Amino acid sequence: MLKEPPVRPTKLHFAICFTVLLFMGLIALICWLSLRPSRPEFQIHHFTIVGLGQADGFESTRIVFNVSVRNPNRRLRISYESLSASVYYGGERIGSTPSLYSFDQPPENTSYVHHVLTGGVMAGNYGQPWMEIVSDRAQGWWTSGWS
């Protein structure tokens, strides 16, 4: 009659620890997949520079834009304390606004932001970037949508 060798305690401990770690890893993976947040998606729908060629200079020039903000998360609400907008041309800022407004966005929601940057906001930025815009416009670059 053959006797079975006794189970070694180290093998038993290893099997128990491996099973517990595998189970905890599976729970962590499920939690991560269900709760991981996604970044909000911003998309520009309309952008226009109005009054660029008027005789009174850049004081009456306005930058008008419409942006959609999408929250793709299923369970997370996003709270925007402030939004700021800046417009760059040729690597230099030609207009900006410090804060648009604050709002809360529910899960799986799209919000729309409409804003106008006026000449007062763009004061002091009438140098080289604006001259390049006028020059590029005169040469026929990006004429659609510009007034």
User: Does one domain contain both 33 and 47?
Assistant: no
119 is a domain residue? yes
What CATH number did the domain enclosing 96 receive? 2.60.40
Q: In the structure, what pLDDT confidence band is assigned to residue 107 with cuts at 50, 70 and 90?
A: very high
Select, from the ranges 12-16, 24-28, 59-63, 122-126, the one with the highest average predicted confidence (pLDDT).
Answer: 24-28
Q: Where in the sequence is the domain holding 100, given as residue range(s)?
A: 41-138
CA distance 9 to 100: 66
User: Does one domain contain both 93 and 45?
Assistant: yes
pTM of this structure: 0.60
User: Does one domain contain both 16 and 84?
Assistant: no
Residue 71: how many other CB atoms lie within 10 Å: 21
User: Does one domain contain both 129 and 65?
Assistant: yes
Q: What value does the mean pLDDT take over residues 88-93?
A: 76
127 is a domain residue? yes
pLDDT of residue 26: 94
Looking at the structure of the chain, the number of domains it has is: 2
Average pLDDT, rounded, for the chain: 78
